[in-house]
């Protein structure tokens, strides 16, 4: 049986483990619904990827969840319309 020459120190042991740690996944924001999504993945909230509907999320929900989701989408649409930047003429009217 082989015998190790000497004991490895804690620092030497831990240096070997330096690359063994968990990283937080990269996150971007879905342009359609505004939820956090991993890059290059379909948004599980709205089912869109690159401005194209890939998964029909509303069809898979039951009535109660479907109604709630539609309200959220409508509210999000109203918020985005209200956030238009004002032009110089509109600023002078106020």
User: How would residue 94 be classed by pLDDT, with cut points 50, 70 and 90?
Assistant: low
In tens, the pLDDT along 45-93 reads 888 898 888 888 878 788 888 888 888 878 876 766 665 666 777 666 6
Query: Cα–Cα–Cα angle for 35, 58, 55, nearest 5°?
Result: 70
Domain boundaries, the chain: 27-81
Question: In this predicted structure, what is the pLDDT of residue 56?
Answer: 84
Question: 0.85 exceeded by the pTM?
Answer: no
pLDDT in tens, 18-43: 887 888 889 999 888 888 999 999 98
Say if residues 36 and 29 touch (Cβ distance below 8 Å). yes
């Amino acid at each position: 049986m082989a015998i190790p020459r000497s004991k490895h120190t804690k620092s030497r042991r831990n240096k070997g483990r330096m690359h063994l740690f968990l990283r937080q996944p990269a996150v971007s924001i879905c342009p359609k619904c505004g939820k956090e999504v991993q890059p290059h993945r379909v948004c599980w909230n709205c089912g869109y990827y690159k401005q194209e509907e890939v998964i029909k999320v509303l069809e898979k929900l039951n009535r109660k969840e479907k109604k709630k989701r539609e309200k959220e989408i409508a509210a999000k649409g109203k918020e985005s319309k209200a956030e238009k930047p004002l032009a110089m003429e509109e600023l002078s009217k106020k």
